[in-house]
Chains A and B, each alone.
Chain A
Amino acid sequence: MNVPHQLRDELKDSSPTLWKELSARADQWTESARTKLSKGLRGYPKTFNDPIWGDIILFPWETLFLDSLLLQRLRGVRQLGMAHLVYPGACHDRLAHSRGVVEAAERMIQSLSRNARFRRSFGKDRDDTIPEVSDHDHYTIRLAALLHDVGHGAFSHATEQLIAERLKDEFVAAGRSLRKYYSGVTSIAAAEIVSAIIVLSDPLRQIFENPNLNIHTNRLTEIAFSICGRIIGSRDFLDTGYLSGVVSGPLDADKLDYMARDSHYAGLPIGLDLHRLISKLEVVTVTPEVTANTKMRERAEASPNKRYHEIGISLSGLGAYEQMIVGRAMLYDRLYYHHKVRSAEAMVRRLIELAEIERGTRFSVGELFFNYPDDTVVFVLGGRLKDETIVCGGSRSNQLADLIHAREVHYRAFAFAPRFIAGINALPDTQKRDARAALWNDVLMKLSDQAGCDDIANKIFEKSRRLLDNVAKLKKPSFELYPEHILVDLPLNKIAVRGGDILTRTEDGFVGTPNLFFDPEKWSQAYEHQKQCGFVFTPRECVQVVSLASRIVFFEEFSVVMDAGADRASKTEREIDPAIFQEAVDAGICSIDCKLAYCSETVRLIPIRVEDIRKRIPDDFKTDSVDLAQKLTEQFSEANPVGFAPQVHQVVLETIEHLLVFLKVCHQSGLFVNKDNLKEKDLQAELKKHLLSRSASVAEGIEVAGGETDLVVGGLLVVENKVNRVATDRPLDIGENYTWQARRYSIAISQNIAAEVVAYKPANEKSILSPSQSITVREVTESKHRFLIIRIVLPWGHSVPHDAKKPK
């Protein structure tokens, strides 16, 4: 087998930070092992008692690694991060898990080896070419099982996510390099890439290639590559093809151990039939004749004897396999995604970031792989314990670390999920699905990474501070509010798993993926999507203010209001009195729209419906070929699918009616025809007169935002008037700055919608739009926050055709 030494060089070049810092750490962690080997000392076989598997026996070369910092540092890196704060028994660590994976791998190898023996001698499709398990494969698979988690830093997945986001390009490049040299690799988690780099690093290479290691293989230079291949799930560097998925695959030793162990220690029983799953593993023989899959046929054609062997599961083991996947979904729901666990993990992530802010520099990758247990890391980051190599410990880090240590975990202040979006249930099905997708996509896009969550958290923090300073009725916390007191968390599956990602065979030898009548993998995804929601977490004393601030920020940023279901999910029902909202409005911190939406009794936002508009359109307009009501409804739906607070909804509809009638009157009376000049104040005066004649509530010249509004209808809707003096045939598109002025005034009175009446000079007779073409609703897409403008356009200064009759 050709050993691709150039892979190491490629990793050095493509992922220099990862390679350099992890190699340095690996050097430190394996120093004792290298020293022992250089002195000719070997490890000893050891037997451990384990609650999941019973006796676990390690070979001497395995205990050499076990007794080094490479693995001992995993003692105290808790398998479940901060879950022990909710499930007190869940204190097991990655060291115990690593030993467990060795035993699970051993049992899988024995099961497959037994099945290979049977299949060489029995059955309709017996196959005497199935190879026996080689020592090299056996021992490197066990080593891969033992070392598969050395890429985990403190708090398990919390630091993994941090490192993966910060060095995203290097991880992508490393993944690309690994795929180049290893075939059959599907998804690789960040921690697996870190483990692979550590295994390939020079310090580990020196150990693997040292004859004193006395491992029972004569291919010493291949060991690191074989282990790396097993960790990332490749089929290369393997004599026995059917062992490729033992450490990393759809049904692997890692999964079998962590599910059994997590469930055991957390005290959460799940259906996991370990013995059945292992005993039903099968060696699958793939030939061109037995599979319908093109790629598998091609691979078989190209293999020696036109056949190859893969890991699979017996059809009679599929029930246990499905049960395992359902069990995992339950573990995710009840354990990994428990809201308190998520809150505590978010606090730990924030503690690391806060410690970096207070010490003035980011932790390097190497620094994030601490040499001590998670609990100690919390104290070091908080400055209670000193580490001479890592400077930390500002006062705020100290306080946050103390909260974590004392299990003062942040509470839920706000919940958000697509099922909670208010106001869309009244819409027809198609429109409802569009509205939900359009609104939720904005939220999801923003909160799909840590930077987005932090940005929204900061906005909630700023809003909370203003609320505390300006709203007397709010409960004030006994401490000063800081950004670390507000955490936004939306759980996302980092790697989705494919259902039925394993081969099976029939009695007569046909091979393929199982037809799962009820694909539990997809079921668990659907279950998770339906059930999970995002949360804003904060200390208990701040729940009220942060709950209010979150509602306002989500309204401003995403135009969404969450319904009473969200309040129940966050346990914040009746937390915010309408009087508090009113104070926030009075202080200019919250829009009236937002307040009305949250303080109404039932439906909190009302979309504009076609029947709402139809009954307000003058009869003359209805004879036009365009269905104006339909057109405007679609434009509203596109620009603001979720609608408006009840009072704003009413004012918008009334204003549309007033403006349409104004449009009709102007067209019929020829009000601005043949004028040499039209002043804005004249247009405004006509419009005001019209509105007052219809008993509308109109205010004029309100001073806001460094200027005066033209008109404000119903105290809520700004109506700006503009006269365009350049001839045009596209009046709906002219004067972009008009819209911005309307927007500026509207924002000043806390609204996200305005109207503008634009008088235009038609370029020619054909440029004059019919009344039904003279109104449009659109979203100002350049705006940071969703903003809508209703525009009506009126021609002025044009001459009446010589054969036109004077209106009666």
Chain B
Amino acid sequence: MNDFHRLAQFITCCWRLGEAGSDRIPTSHGILDSAIQQVLAESTVPSWVVNGLTFVDSRIGLQCIELPSILEWAQRAQLTSAPNPSYETTEVQVSQRLAAKLLASLGVDEDTAKEVGNRLKKYTDESRAALVSSNHALLEDY
């Protein structure tokens, strides 16, 4: 199985099973990159997830190298919507039932998925709040 396929299923389905927060995954400004790194450091996740993700201190800060491909794959696999209208988030499209089923086929139990989903949501909220609080975080051309 394609690695991006498994990782896309893992991230989107865990997000869906997370109990609180938005249905929309942030896709810009490195918010999700740092949240995933924090989750990997704190939660018990399958080794293929840990081994499949590489974090780099890049030109624009922390980047998970595989994340653009994973998010692109999630969209391609109909797990998430096209990132409209702001292009800053994408909506998880699968139901909790299908999410649980897809995770089960990956060998991930529902409790682990819920924990990962909850933490992902928590850390993305924190990253977003930090970004918005900075008055020079969003540079725009008028």
Contacts and interface: CB of A to CB of B under 8 A. Distances in A.
Interface of A: 179, 183-187, 235, 244-245, 249, 290-296, 298-299, 310-311, 315-316, 318-319, 418, 430, 433-434, 436-438, 440-441, 444-445, 448-449, 492-493, 495-506, 510-519, 522-523, 525-526, 529-530, 634, 638
B59 A249 contact: yes
Contacts of B49: none
Given A294-B61, A437-B78, 10 more contacts: A292-B136, A295-B57, A441-B77, A444-B76, A502-B60, A504-B139, A505-B139, A512-B139, A518-B87, A526-B82
Given A444-B5, A500-B28, A436 B78 contact: yes
Contacts of B94: 433-434, 437
Contacts of A522: 27, 82-83, 87
A186 B56 contact: yes
B75 A503 contact: no
A506 B69 contact: no
The 9 closest A-B pairs by CB, nearest first: A292-B134, A510-B136, A526-B82, A496-B72, A519-B87, A448-B2, A293-B61, A515-B138, A292-B137
B79 interface: yes
Contacts of A444: 5, 76-77
B5 A445 contact: yes
A638 to B, nearest CB: 7
Contacts, number: 156
B93 A437 contact: yes
A496 B57 contact: no
In this complex, the member of B97, B134, B136 whose beta carbon has the largest number of chain A beta carbons within 10 angstroms is B136
A530 B5 CA distance: 18
Contacts of B137: 292, 512
B27 A434 contact: no
Contacts of A295: 57, 61-62
A319 B5 CA distance: 33
Contact of B136 (A290, A445, A519, A530): A290
A504 B1 CA distance: 39
Contacts of B29: 500, 513
B59 A292 contact: no
B60 A513 contact: yes
Classify chain B: how many residues form its interface, as a range.
Answer: 35 or more
24 contacts: A184-B57, A184-B59, A186-B58, A187-B65, A291-B136, A292-B136, A292-B137, A294-B61, A315-B141, A433-B78, A434-B95, A437-B77, A441-B9, A495-B69, A496-B68, A498-B63, A498-B68, A500-B28, A515-B140, A522-B82, A526-B82, A526-B84, A529-B75, A634-B97
Contacts of B68: 496-498
B59 A179 contact: no
A296 B30 CA distance: 12
A245 B77 contact: no
Contacts of A448: 1-2, 4-5
Interface residues of A, dominant DSSP? mixed
B82 A179 contact: no
Interface of B: 1-2, 4-5, 9, 27-30, 34, 54, 56-63, 65, 67-69, 71-73, 75-79, 82-84, 87-88, 93-95, 97-98, 101-102, 130-131, 134, 136-141
Contacts of B141: 315-316, 318-319, 514
Contacts of B101: 438, 638
Contact of B139 (A184, A492, A513, A634): A513
Given A186-B65, A433-B94, A515-B140, A503 B78 contact: no
Nearest to B82: A526
B58 A499 contact: no
Contacts of B95: 430, 433-434
Contact of A437 (B72, B82, B98, B139): B98
B82 A529 contact: yes
A503 B59 contact: yes
A438 B98 contact: yes
